[in-house]
Chains A and B, each alone.
Chain A
Amino acid sequence: MKRFLINIALFGVVMFLLMVGAEIVLLHRPNEYSYKREYIEKNGDRIKTLIIGHSQASYALNPSLMGDSVFNFAIRGRNLYYDKVLLERYLDKLPNLKQIIMPIAYMSAIDHYQYGPVEGADESFRCMYAKYFDIVYPGYSKWWCWSEILHSDENFGERIWLRDSVALRGNDSGYNPFRSRWAGWRNDGMLPPVDFSSPEIRMAIKDNIGYMRQIAALCRNRGVKLLLYTAPHTKEYCAALPPLARETLQRAVAEMQEVYPAITYRDYTRHPAFTDDDFHDGCHLMPSGATKLSKLINSDL
């Protein structure tokens, strides 16, 4: 037994050292989180328009088509809690900021790490925000979340070996385009089946609308314009959308406008400019779609 325990402990030490090595390598490899934090902290005074939110912004809005001083700060999978905390932290460090663009998705009001309907990715996001933004999700310890290998679902292999930094962290302005799509793309990205009457979803909606109101209040207090938009969706996505999802989204917008009446809202859900070729899946855009949406929003600004 003693020999076994010694060998296991030794092998554990070897593995621990290898893991620490891999974590250090990962820490120094480009990724969206570290790049966007570094950019906003170094270039805060240059940003006049800030794009926040999740994948319906990070893959969908190309700042290079929207002017020089636009930065896409969105990262896939970000929920409203992190948007709120990031705005609280950085709003005062962006002296020339005039407007914020934020997607509001059908998932936005129900996407919640504790109560939401999607399992699996929350650990990953908690880890990445704790590690690269020092934002610790309530109830968690930073050190528990710190190991990317144990918690994150980022593609470590690519992170370690891939030399194309744009593929790893997006381009200089924060836009991170999709490069390809699956043949079966139409079935991807659909709204998960949600029981809007369940206590968990009601809790998620309550929390998320609270965050939205706080985001609206932050923009109002700082005198920054807020443009909300709902990204284009495929007809299959729209057909499968439960009425309660639409109602919840409208309620969320109304609640934000109640706090900050100057909020502009654009609904591009079924905009005729977008064809099947523009979609990566039910609710995300390929670069051609991102170009169209960026131009559309730019003309609205």
Chain B
Amino acid sequence: MVKPQCVSVGVFWFKFCFGGVLLYLCGRNRSSMLFNSIEFLFFLPVVFALYWMTAKRLAVRNAVLLGASCLFYGWWDWRFLLLIVAVTGVSYISGILIDRYRESHRRMKSILWIDVVFNLGVLGVFKYFDFFARKFIILFNALGFEADSVTLDIILPVGISFYTFQSISYVIDVYRGDIAPSRNPLSFFTFVAFFPQLVAGPIERASNLLPQFNRLHRFDYASAVDGCRQMLWGFFKKVVVADNCAVVVNRIFADYTAFSGGELLIGVALFSFQVYGDFSGYSDIAIGVSRLFGINLSRNFNVPLFSRDIAEFWRRWHISLTSWFRDYLYIPLGGSRVSRAKQARNTFIVFLLSGFWHGPSWNYIVWGGYHALLYVPLQLTGRHRRHRDTVAHGRVLPTAKESMMMATTFMLCLVGLIFFRSHTLGHAWAYLCRIVTDFNFKGMQWNVLPYLWCLIMLVVEWFGRESEHPLQFGGGSILRYRAIRWSIYAVIAMLCLLYSGAKTNFLYFQF
């Protein structure tokens, strides 16, 4: 891949502002426009200005957002915009047709299935074809047949798992009559392609997001400022916590045999902070950016690291995906209205598919299955809804029991994450065995910084666990002084600038 070339400011602006955008994109195979890239630093203010300049005309405003979304996505590879157009177009037409044939249940159902099969087909071809092709070849060869390789080495379009799921949920909601179909192609395309959440979620429901593209917004100062704070915290989690942890994690997982069990345990613990910092950081930035445009996205993480059991963890981790599977798979399969055995079966199906959603690998399936194994006993004993409030609600510190529960849940999650991060099942199993059989910290090198960043993240999130994000300060105490608040923001921003780790893609781009 040709590396992104940093051009001088003048040349950049010329290309950016004067219509050479498509030609510019066509000529280069760029990397994604990351939130933590200089390109995005220019991109966001331009889109913000254009958006609010045109805010009084709905169509123009949506056109600005759609154009910005296309540019944002096309920065990575403009050809895959056609895929988004296809997915969006089919779902848009399906929604209208379902509404037209509402009298005929059979027709409605047929259209729904066509749309679902199309979306899953696109996902299957681009994400899973190679995986299944390889497995079939192995199977045929094992049965004594000769099978040639038919894999295509297809490039995985960034964000495909997110926007296909979003499109499917829209059509199902229309089918169920929960929402009216969109008859405005511009707002519908903007809903699917909205750039802050296009490539890594949150997977939005049409009932929440679509109406926001159908009404005019007034600029809300408080919301925009809070969005900036949330972005800032997201950047800290991504570039300071996740990217610094990634350096250690990548080394340890590249050759786990060279490390002691203690180091391997530290490695997977750091990976848990990396994946959390990376993905929740992305979600925070996406939500914050959206709020600058007066658009509210759903919350995707709710301090999952402070969960007291696995059920609570799944109510707090990647909420938009978990609720998607709950609403469009678990409940249609019978939900909690069926027998205990069927509930357990349905839970297993949901977790296995949720694992498989992350990628075509047995590791993700085992990760999903492992979480199902932890979840089902709680479900069958009716204890999966015990912890619906925030831990240590109204108190500063948790009780000893709560601490033990959080630590246990965290450790259980770490076991799953070994499978999530490893390249193969054998690798994961050997990694796990080595932690148990060779547990010592001999020869360990302590670069204290990644641990310090993780600790800061945990402490700040602990104290902000009852709010939407930890920088959502209340009016009380010394934080009512602007100078104090700005000092905090400035320190966080400087940490992002001075202590950012190696710049990496967001992990969830690969899903």
Q: How many residues of A contact B (CB 8 A)?
A: 41
Residues of chain B having any CB pair with chain A under 8 Å: 1-3, 5-10, 31, 38, 52, 219, 221, 224-225, 228, 251-252, 254-256, 258-260, 263, 443, 445, 449, 486, 489-490, 493-494, 497-499, 502-503
Inter-chain CA distance A22–B494, complex, in Å, is 9
Interface of A is mostly: helix
- Known A114-B3, A185-B258; 14 more pairs at CB < 8 Å: A7-B225, A11-B489, A123-B6, A139-B5, A139-B8, A144-B8, A157-B499, A182-B258, A183-B255, A183-B260, A184-B254, A184-B255, A186-B258, A187-B255
Give a binary string over A98-142; 1 marks a CB under 8 Å from any B CB, 0 the rest. Answer: 000000000000000111100110110010000000000001110
Q: Say how far A7's CB is from chain B's closest CB, in angstroms.
A: 7
**Which residues of A are at the interface with B, using a C-beta cutoff of 8 A?**
1, 3-4, 7-8, 11, 14-15, 18-19, 22, 113-116, 119-120, 122-123, 126, 139-141, 143-144, 149-151, 153, 156-157, 160, 180, 182-188, 200
Residue of B whose beta carbon sits closest to that of A185? B258
Can you name 21 A-B pairs with beta carbons within 8 Å? A1-B219, A4-B221, A7-B225, A8-B228, A14-B486, A15-B493, A19-B497, A113-B3, A114-B5, A119-B1, A119-B31, A120-B503, A141-B9, A143-B9, A144-B9, A151-B6, A160-B498, A183-B255, A184-B256, A186-B258, A187-B254
CB B35 to nearest CB in A, in angstroms, measures 15
B442 to chain A, nearest CB (A): 10
Bound form: Cα–Cα A141–B9 in Å: 8
B3 touches A119 (CB 8 A): yes
> In the complex, are the beta carbons of B445 and A180 less than 8 A apart?
yes
What is the bound-complex CA distance between A232 and B281, given in angstroms?
42
- Judging by beta carbons under 8 Å apart, are A186 and B3 in contact? no
Cα of A149 to Cα of B256 in the assembled complex, Å: 33
Closest 10 CB pairs of A and B: A184-B255, A141-B8, A183-B258, A184-B258, A156-B498, A1-B219, A187-B254, A187-B255, A183-B259, A149-B497
CA of A115 to CA of B2, assembled, Å? 6
CB atoms of B498 and A188 under 8 A apart: no
How far is it, in angstroms, between the C-alpha of A119 and the C-alpha of B258 when the chains are bound?
A: 27
Evaluate contact between B221 and A184: CB separation under 8 angstroms. Answer: no
CB-based contact A183/B443 at 8 Å = yes
From B257, which residue of chain A is reached at the shortest CB distance? A184
Q: How far is the CA of A186 from the CA of B7 in the complex (A)?
A: 36
CA–CA, A139 and B10, complex, Å: 12
Q: A184–B490 contact, CB under 8 A? A: no
A153 & B6 in contact (Cβ 8 Å cutoff): no
CA distance A143 to B38 in the complex (A): 15
Please determine whether A4 and B224 come into contact, CB atoms closer than 8 angstroms.
yes
Tell me whether B252 and A184 are in contact (CB under 8 A).
yes
* CB-defined contacts of B494 to chain A, threshold 8 Å: 15, 18-19, 22
B3 touches A11 (CB 8 A): no
> Which residues on the B side are within 8 Å of A151 (C-beta)?
6
Distance between B231 CB and nearest chain A CB, rounded to angstroms: 12
**Among A22, A113, A180, A186, which residue has its beta carbon within 8 angstroms of that of B255?**
A186
Give Cα distance in the complex from A252 to B221, angstroms: 62
Complex Cα distance, B251 from A100, in Å, reads 36
**Contact: B2 with A200, CB < 8 Å?**
yes
